[in-house]
Amino acid sequence: MPQFSTLDLSHVPCLELLSEGFSNLPKLFEINISGCGVEQLLDLSHNNLTTFNITFGNCPSLEGLYLNNNNLTQSALFADLTSLRHLHLQSNGKLELTEHTFEALKHLETLDLSYNGLEILSPHLFGYKQVDTQGLYEYLPMAHMRWLNLNGNKLQQLDSRTFEKLAFLEELCLSNNVLRVLPKGLFVPIQNLKVLDMRHNQLTEISSDILKSLNNAKDLLINYNQLTTLPDLNGTLPQLQRMGIDGNPWERASFAPLEQWLIARKIQYLTDDYEFYSSD
User: What is the three-state SS of 161-177?
Assistant: CCCCCCCCCCEEECCCC
What are φ and ψ of residue 51, in 5° steps?
Answer: -55, -40
Q: At residue 17, what is the residue type? A: L
* Spans of all domains in the chain: 145-280
Rounded distance between C-alpha atoms, residue 111 and residue 33, angstroms: 22
pLDDT tens string 182-222: 999 999 999 999 999 999 999 999 999 999 999 999 999 99
Do 150 and 176 form a contact (C-beta atoms < 8 A)?
Answer: no
Rounded mean pLDDT of 101-127? Answer: 94
Using DSSP, state whether 263 is helix, strand or coil: helix
What are φ and ψ of residue 55, in 5° steps?
Answer: -115, 110
Q: What is the pLDDT of residue 71?
A: 86
**Closest residue by Cα to residue 22 from 41, 37, 40, 39:** 41
Give the N- to C-terminal CA distance of the chain in Å, as an integer: 58
C-alpha distances (whole Å) from 45 to each of 20, 28, 84, 113, 265 are 9, 10, 16, 14, 44
Rounded distance between C-alpha atoms, residue 80 and residue 104, angstroms: 8
Q: What is the fold, at CATH topology level, of the domain defined by 145-280?
A: 3.80.10
Radius of gyration (C-alpha) of the chain in whole angstroms: 21
Do 128 and 105 form a contact (C-beta atoms < 8 A)?
Answer: yes
Rounded distance between C-alpha atoms, residue 21 and residue 79, angstroms: 21
Q: Report residue 168's pLDDT band, with 50, 70 and 90 as the boundaries.
A: very high
pLDDT tens string 77-103: 687 788 899 999 999 988 889 888 899
